Structure 1
Amino acid sequence: MGFVLKVMGFLGWALLSLIAIVPVVAARHRPWSHSKKVNISEEDLVTELAGQPKVEFSHYAGYVTVNEKHGRALFYWFYEASSHPEEKPLVLWLNGGPGCSSVGYGATQEIGPFTVDTDGSGLKLNPYSWNRAKDTYIFLHKWFNKFPTYRHRSFYIAGESYAGKYVPELAELIYDMNKHPSLHINLKGFLLGNPETSDADDWRGMVDYAWSHAVISDETHKIIKESCNFDKGDPWSNDSCSQAVDELLNQYKEIDIYSLYTSVCTNSTSSNDGSMQVMYNSKSKMMPRIMGGYDPCLDDYAKTFYNRPDVQKALHVSDDLHLKNWSICNYKIFREWSESRPSIVPIYKKLIAAGLRIWVYSGDTDGRVPVLSTRYSLGALELPITRAWRPWYHQKQVGGWFQEYEGLTFATFRGAGHAVPTFKPSESLALFASFLAGESMPSER
């Protein structure tokens, strides 16, 4: 595969890798007097990460300053490919939220090479590792200066959930800026899982999915259908709609909205900010923000591990100053986030016409951004079908279904929740490999 780069930024956290995966993490304001200007990647080499198993690849972590005036920087974690890294494409991974960590989620629970032990004391190998937009764009330019050997690699962006909004926005920015005589980024396409795409269609899909999966009653479903106009962007615009939508959200508080058929963590130390926390208000024009993902207990393990001073030092996070109370999501960003286009569909149309490779996938047991939301949103593109709906296979079993359109591939994962690689690691790795190779999903056993 390639390298992965994870960048933790204001919008969320990211992961950069070769594949290389790079997660980008939340923006950090650093004292200007402490800023470093050394563009040598070896200073970011991770050498003494607590509990790390022996590996044959190098990985790097550190900060890239994106606003010198205010001392704002983005944190990244970069994994080289486990074999032949000099031949692999580069992939940027971004988690959603907004304001949630690509390290805490993507790197630790989904696609990174390590997962955290249940007591938060160490790491174990993941056998299925996938070894704000202007700030992120600036970050990429400066990151390529730090790692110049990767400047001309094929570059892809991947992400899930709320990244469905800002991954296409970043791809559009790169595409537009590539027309100017500056550093050219060899963008080839993007891959999105259970992505927020169009607020109106996301709402309709969420409601219809909850009804079709017996989360809400016929009566609640009927009231929402008759009284809510999601195209206007405000489900709380009248009392009937507001009460019915609140009933839907209240029912989802009883289970894991991200994984309808799995148990919830009943002993989580993060119960006050756990996955069922719903944030919205009557003045908001956005979809309600619902924190967390599959198994809130996984969040606890990550929180314990990344709050360790020795781990922070190994990842070059804190300039030898222990950062206390790191959490998997930045709740201030989460609560106050308001910058959101109601629909990304126009960007899809633009980038499809530009010839980028675009794949979208959905875990079919996710209630937060369910498969129906994605189907409704993609339906608005009205793309010609080039290969009809059919199952795809992994290890002789049906992994899900897929359909190919002119310029876009859509696939489902059978029995997977919101964070698909957590539920179906082997299957998601197979899809990722097909995406990078530009090949169809296997349609024969």
Structure 2
Amino acid sequence: LDLHSILSSESSALTHPSYPNHHVRFKQTHGFCDETVKTYTGYIDIEHGRKHLFFYFFESRRDPDNDDVVSCINGGPGGGSSALGLLTELGPCNIDSSSPNGTAWNPWGWNRKTNLLFLDQPIDVGYSYGDKTPLPSTAPDAARDVHAFLTVWFETFSKFKGRPFHFAGDSYGGRYVPVFASHIWDRNQDAHEEGRTPINLQSIMLGNGWTNPAKIYGSYYDMLCKNSTITPFYPIRMCSELVYTAPECEKKITQSCGRNYNKFDCRAAFDYCQTELINSFETTSINWYDISKSCGGNDLDCYPEIEEVRKYLSKNSTKDMLGVPRNHKFQVISWPLHEAFVDAGDMYDPSDSYVVGLLERGVRVLVYVGTNDLACNFVGNYRTVQGLDWSGSNAFTSSELTPWSVNGHVAGETKSHGRLTFATIRGAGHLVPFDKPEESVYMLEKWVANEHLGD
């Protein structure tokens, strides 16, 4: 498909003979975000037109005809339109209500050297929606939709077909991305057999990920009672009790959730952990996502940019520019979707085995974590990677963390063996590119180039 000739018109609607039940509606967008590159937005309609997944795509600022493709999703479940990452973290522009077009150019955008694809998923998040179809309630459910989307997307944007592909996600993306990438890998075998070009999956990137809930909860003691990052937050007497509570919490989650999921026992385990470990912290004004800062305690007070994004993407003028029907509501978060995932137990299910499966099949894995995040903190994520049972585990676990630097200053610590890399970003919270944009894009570009972060 020659995008430049087709998209000389305002918008396009396409089908593909290999995918007769899928349709593509998209346009080349002008006046949005980054005028230095070609930008496309639109929908891919899957499942006989019952599900409509919205995307934003920005070509690379360097060499779009040769640079890799990076796809980014946000967390949740149900709680993160990709527009939040696009407009507040790593996209080519940042939300800016004082600007004539509502955005300001971001010099640290992740499309400096990569082609950058943002996807609103699952349906009911952001601009994505469904027509009288049940909401997905697990990551494996959502994986089928994401694979269908990517397959049709690469067929439509065919000049990128076969290009090295990297799948990135933060927060609940630590659950989503390993599952989605594993589904892509498995279905690639079908593509080979059917004579189609498979998705060239090279790596996954997990930022402050919710990959192993038990280890994350067990690490709250370390973050709140030890000098892990800032200072101990809880009183000594309380911590003297939590030193026993944290392992018990981790044990309860492991026994009742995940593979051994029992709805009532699992909920009871999380209620126990929440009550014993977290409730006291939530009475403070400290930012759950960046414990170096105080704010009103809820996300909108801590990050007013979220409301700015919602307002901007709810404007009819913005919808017209992006090719979104005016009657369609932009949703930062879908509470029905969130509850569906919680009720099905997906939120409590670890994704370690998916990460291991990818590593053993040659897919590289980067786990990076801002050290000031409590929610999905670096202690829990480090324990997760240290506990992965893969063929390189002995060498990885025995290696030491070493500093990595950007422009002469230490940005964090890292360790790597074979296909697995772990990295911390000093002074960053849950949203690493938001807090440390220069460091984050440096990390991305080293990773995509398959260069060691510490070199």
Quick check: TM above 0.5?
A: yes
| Pick aligned residue for 1:427 from 433, 439, 445 | 439
* Matching residue of 1:63: 43
Are the counterparts in 1 of residues 242 and 277 from structure 2 also a CA contact under 8 Å? no
One-letter code aligned to 2:27: D
Letter aligned with residue 302 of structure 1: V
CA distance in 2, matches of 1:393, 1:332: 43
Q: Secondary structure at the match of 2:289?
A: coil
Paired residue for 2:66?
87
- Residue number among 223, 234, 251 corresponding to 1:216 in the alignment: 234
Tell me by how many angstroms 1:178 deviates: 1.3
Structure 2: distance between partners of 1:144 and 1:328: 26
Letter in 1 for 2:370: G
- 8 Å CA contact 2:446–2:452 kept in 1: the answer is yes
- Go from structure 1 to structure 2 and tell me whether the alpha carbon gap of 1:60 and 1:242 turns closer, same or farther (over 3 Å shift): closer
Partner Cα separation in structure 1 for residue 334 and residue 294 of structure 2: 25
Q: Which amino acid aligns with 1:134?
A: R
Whole-angstrom distance in 2 between the partners of 1:186 and 1:164: 20
Q: Deviations over 1:128-172 (max 9, x none)?
A: 000111000000111112111111111110111101111011111
Alpha-carbon contact 1:57-1:83 (below 8 Å) kept: no
Distance 2:439 2:81 in 1: 20
Which residue number corresponds to residue 367 of structure 1? 374
Asked if the contact 1:119–1:301 (Cα under 8 Å) also holds between the matched residues in 2, the reply is no
Alignment of 1:339-418 (within 5 A): 339=344, 340=346, 342-381=349-388, 383-385=393-395, 388-418=400-430
1:106 has 2:85 as partner: yes
Quick one: structure 1 residues 377 and 43, their matched pair in 2 at CA, closer, same or farther if it must change by over 3 Å?
A: closer
- State the shift of 1:227 in Å: 4.9
SS in 1 for 2:43: strand
Residues 160, 395 of structure 1: CA spacing in aligned structure 2 closer, same or farther, 3 A cutoff?
Answer: same
1:167–1:190 contact (8 Å) kept in structure 2: yes
On the 8 A contact 1:365/1:415 being kept in 2, the answer is yes
1:77 partner amino acid: Y
CA distance in 2, matches of 1:237, 1:377: 19
Where does structure 2 lack aligned partners over 5 or more consecutive residues?
Answer: 1-11, 17-22, 112-141, 258-265
The amino acid across from 1:221 in the alignment is L
1:75 aligned to 2:79? no
Quote how far apart the aligned CAs of 1:38 are. 4.9
Deviation at residue 84 of structure 1 after TM alignment: 1.6
SS of residue matched to 2:189:
coil
Structure 2 distance, partners of 1:221, 1:371, is 19
Secondary structure of residue in 2 paired with 1:343: coil
Q: Which residue of 1 aligns with 2:28?
A: 45
Superposed displacement of residue 100, structure 1: 3.0
Letter in 1 for 2:289: Y
Quick one: which amino acid aligns to residue 329 of structure 1?
Answer: I
Match status 1:247 vs 2:275 = no
Secondary structure, counterpart of 1:87 in structure 2: coil
Deviation sequence 1:176-215 (CA, Å, 0-9, x none): 1111224311111111111111121111123321222423
Q: Which residue number in structure 2 is paired with residue 148 of structure 1?
A: 158
Paired residue for 1:115, among 79, 82, 94?
Answer: 94
User: Among 243, 257, 264, which residue is 2:288 paired with?
Assistant: 257
Name the CA distance, whole Å, in 2 between partners of 1:395 and 1:413.
14
Q: Deviations over 1:274-321 (max 9, x none)?
A: 42xxxxxxxxxxxxxxxx7x9321112111211110101111111xx2
1:12-40 Cα offsets, whole Å, 9 max, x none, are xxxxxxxxxxxxxxxxxxxxxxx954569
Which secondary structure state, in structure 2, belongs to the residue aligned with residue 191 of structure 1?
strand
Contact 1:385 1:404 in 2 (8 A): no
Structure 1 portions without partners, runs of 5+: 1-34, 276-291
Q: In the aligned structure 2, how far is the partner of 1:163 from the partner of 1:87?
A: 27
Q: Deviation of residue 368 (structure 1)?
A: 0.2
Partner of residue 8, structure 1? none
Q: Equivalent residue of 2:83, what SS?
A: helix
Query: Which amino acid is the alignment partner of residue 376 of structure 1?
Result: R
Structure 2 equivalent of residue 135 of structure 1: 145
1:225 shift after superposition: 3.4
Secondary structure of the 1:385 match is: helix
Contact 2:26-2:323 within 8 A present in 1 as well: no
Does residue 125 of structure 1 match 2:125? no
What is the rounded CA distance, in whole Å, between the counterparts of 1:198 and 1:175 in structure 2? 21
2 CA distance for matches of 1:117 and 1:161? 24
Greater helix share, 1 or 2? 2
Q: Is the 8 A contact 2:220 2:246 kept in 1?
A: no
1:188-199 correspondence runs (5 A): 188-199=202-213
Write the distance in 2 (CA, Å) between the matches of 1:42 and 1:135: 17
The alpha-carbon distance between structure 1 residues 329 and 220, as it changes in their structure 2 partners (threshold 3 A), is farther
Q: How many angstroms does 1:334 deviate by?
A: 2.0
Change (3 A) 1:145 1:254: same
Identity of aligned residues (%): 25
Aligned length: 377
TM-score for both structures, normalised by structure 2: 0.77
User: 2:15 and 2:152 mapped to 1: Cα distance?
Assistant: 11
1:112 Cα deviation after fit? 0.5
CA RMSD of aligned residues (A): 2.6
Answering whether residue 184 of structure 2 is matched by residue 174 of structure 1, we say: yes
Counterparts of 2:73 and 2:409 in 1: how far apart (Å)?
29
TM-score by length of 1: 0.78
* 2:283 paired with 1:300: no
